[in-house]
Amino acid sequence: MYMKDLLKNYNKSWKDIPLFSGIQGEDMSSLLECLRAFIRTYEKDEYIVLYNDSVECVGVLLEGTVHMIKEDLRGNKSILAAIEERELFGETFACGADLTSTVAFVATTPVKVLFVHFNKVMHSCLKSCEFHHRLIENMVALMARKNALLMEKLDITSKRTLREKISAYLTIQAQRKKSTHFTISMGRLELADYLCVDRSALTRELSNMKKDGMIDFEKNTFQILDSFY
């Protein structure tokens, strides 16, 4: 795909993607060509990266949602992270000496992904373009943020009780959305996988928290009430 066609294939603003923050629109065509970028689409439930796949490219999620998942030998699945539009995935493995993925990435909706070669991102081209230096800074910052999100999950799942896990998760979501009324991207089964708990137990505890006046909810939309704190 030619770069001008690649640019047209994304109908939103490239400048809103954190990886390309601070890079002027006229530089995008040159940048994408330098990165050997390409776009692919996936259907819901289709695997983008499988466990043990070699990962040489970083994915930038242009549309849809993707989950990073880990399965044990018994087939039990845990959601390590939910990747939303404009976020990166696969950078942890693409940057290492061993490019083998220890997790899988699966589309939870129809998605469109921009792939860029990691070594092309982190090594400036012969022209030493000013925008490429900015790109490297952006990539490092985003990798640091991803590590923080994984630490965030560790903090949530390390809580002793199920109510504490739910409360910690909802608190973080409210802070992120800057509102006590918000919608999450995960359904009950996905949230149970993320929290590493039984789905029935999660549903029961959410109902108990609603009965106790801590929260109100309708499907994936929650409201934190005064007695929550």
Cβ count within 10 A of residue 200: 10
Cα distance from N-terminal residue to C-terminal residue, the chain: 53
Backbone angles phi, psi at 65, to 5 degrees: -135, 150
Is residue 153 predicted with pLDDT exceeding 70?
yes
- The per-residue pLDDT for range 1-10, each reduced to its tens digit, is 445 556 566 6
Is residue 77 predicted with pLDDT exceeding 80?
yes
Architecture in CATH for domain 160-228: Orthogonal Bundle (1.10)
Burial of residue 93 (CB within 10 Å: 0-12, 13-18, 19+) is buried
- The per-residue pLDDT for range 199-220, each reduced to its tens digit, is 999 999 999 999 999 999 999 9
Closest CA to 58 of 18, 15, 11: 18
Instruction: Decide: 195 and 170 in contact? Cβ < 8 Å.
Output: no
The proportion of the chain whose per-residue pLDDT surpasses 90, expressed as a percent, equals 57
What is residue 129's predicted lDDT score, i.e. its pLDDT?
Answer: 63
Instruction: Decide: 115 and 41 in contact? Cβ < 8 Å.
Output: no
CATH topology of domain 3-156: Jelly Rolls (2.60.120)
Largest CA distance in the chain: 63
Closest CA to 185 of 104, 76, 67, 71: 67
Q: What is the pTM of this model?
A: 0.81
- Domain ranges within the chain, ordered by starting residue: 3-156, 160-228
| Least confident span in 120-134, 195-209, 215-229 | 120-134
